[in-house]
């Protein structure tokens, strides 16, 4: 197999000596160390309540976000415009305009109710997705709220829909992971 570039000297297998003086200097120089924390300039804002963290959230937004996550276990989290959603739970909006994501959410909901049925010896059938939240981190961790109907018919001859919550992880290029599926907790 041929090599690309000039032949290398046997005493310089790395080819370092064949580099230009500017490239050698750049390779030998160390990058400057980052400034100490107290010297880093904070983002300028109008008041303390408006100062943002690294995710672009104000203290009030972060407090509200964390409260929503705690109280709803991630199923009821509002949209915070302009912040970084990397590794944060966010609502998936406009699913009907995103057919691939919409199908993934529906597929994960159907899979979750199937697992619930298997674990609980029930026969619920998926009806529709009501809401979906997601955390993206090497795939989507979904917080799904959907309805499903059981085979049981009530006194009026109707099958009443039950609201379920499920948490499912759909990694990029991997098998789905099931955390849980349950009837929605009463708030």
Outline where DSSP puts E strands in 34-160: 90-91, 125-136, 139-149
Extract the tokens encoding 138.
């090497």
CA angle 176, 177, 180 (to 5 degrees): 130
Give residue 54's pLDDT band: very low, low, confident or very high (50, 70, 90).
Answer: low
> Do the beta carbons of residue 77 and residue 133 sit within 8 Å?
yes
Listed residue (140, 132, 51) closest to 87, CA to CA: 140
Asked if 72 and 89 count as a contact pair (C-beta separation under 8 A), the reply is no
Average pLDDT over residues 112-118: 97
Average of pLDDT values for 84-88? 69
pLDDT tens-digit profile of 96-105? Answer: 899 999 999 9
Residue 71's pLDDT is what?
92
Q: What is the mean pLDDT of residues 18-42?
A: 48
Hey, what CATH topology would domain 90-183 get? Nuclear Transport Factor 2; Chain: A, (3.10.450)
């Amino acid at each position: 197999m041929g090599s690309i570039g000039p032949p290398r000297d046997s005493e310089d297998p790395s080819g370092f000596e064949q580099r230009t003086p500017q490239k050698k200097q750049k390779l030998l120089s160390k990058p400057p160390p980052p400034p100490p924390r107290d010297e880093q300039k904070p983002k300028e804002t109008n008041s303390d309540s408006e100062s943002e963290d690294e995710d672009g959230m104000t203290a009030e937004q972060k407090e509200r976000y964390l409260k929503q996550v705690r109280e709803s276990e991630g199923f009821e989290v509002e949209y915070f415009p302009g912040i970084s959603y990397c590794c944060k739970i966010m609502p998936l909006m406009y699913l009907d305009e995103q057919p691939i994501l919409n199908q993934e959410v529906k597929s994960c909901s159907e899979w979750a109710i199937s697992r619930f049925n298997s674990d609980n010896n029930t026969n619920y059938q998926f009806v529709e997705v009501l809401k979906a939240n997601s955390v993206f981190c090497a795939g989507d961790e979904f917080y799904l709220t959907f309805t499903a109907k059981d085979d049981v018919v009530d006194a009026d001859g109707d099958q009443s829909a039950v609201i379920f919550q499920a948490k499912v992880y759909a990694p990029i290029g991997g098998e789905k992971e099931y955390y849980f599926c349950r009837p929605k907790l009463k708030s």
